[in-house]
Amino acid sequence: MPQLDPEFFVSQLFWLVVTFSFLLLFLWKVSLPRIGSVLEKRENKINNDIETAKQLQIEAEKIQDQIDQKLHNSKEQNISLIKNSTVNLQNKASEELSKLDNELNKKIEKSAKVIENNKKKSLKQIHEQIHEITKLTLSKLSSVQINDQEIEESVANAQSGVRH
């Protein structure tokens, strides 16, 4: 094998040094700076993204706190409105009930008066009919003439024994 032949060692070492020197210079001057700048850009981008994410997180927390506060205020307002509405409705309902009670009491009193008047009229009509029936009966059955005053007294005596 020609690579292991000692005659070519010097030339192989020369080319080895030249090749690795060129490779070292190429890497040192061209590739590594590009790689370094890319890595630096990536690191800067990552740091910027992390900083932006932290700022956005802080803003999101502030917004969440505002939302929570508004929700809390809204719940308190809703509870207050519900309580006020309930109290108002209860007051209106009690007013309406008292009005209805008053109206019903007036109607009951009016109905009681009407019933009492009708009862008095009915009793008066019954009394008059009894008077007429008694007068007609006595005049048909007997020839005795009884005046209206005597009939009234007899009917009154008979009615005093009967309860209304």
Domain boundaries, the chain: 9-160
Predicted local distance difference test score (pLDDT) of residue 1 = 65
Predicted local distance difference test score (pLDDT) of residue 162 = 64
Q: What is the mean pLDDT of residues 88-106?
A: 96
> 32-141 and 148-160 are packed helices; what angle lies between their axes, rounded to 10 degrees?
130
Strand segments (E) across the chain: none
Q: Supply the pTM of this predicted model.
A: 0.46
Give the whole-angstrom CA distance, residue 26 versus residue 33: 10
Contact (CB, 8 A) for 135 and 149: no
Contact (CB, 8 A) for 155 and 137: no
For residue range 131-149, list pLDDT tens digits in order. 888 878 877 777 777 777 8
Predicted local distance difference test score (pLDDT) of residue 120 = 92
Q: Over 80: is that where the pLDDT of 158 sits? A: no
Mean pLDDT of the residues in the chain: 90
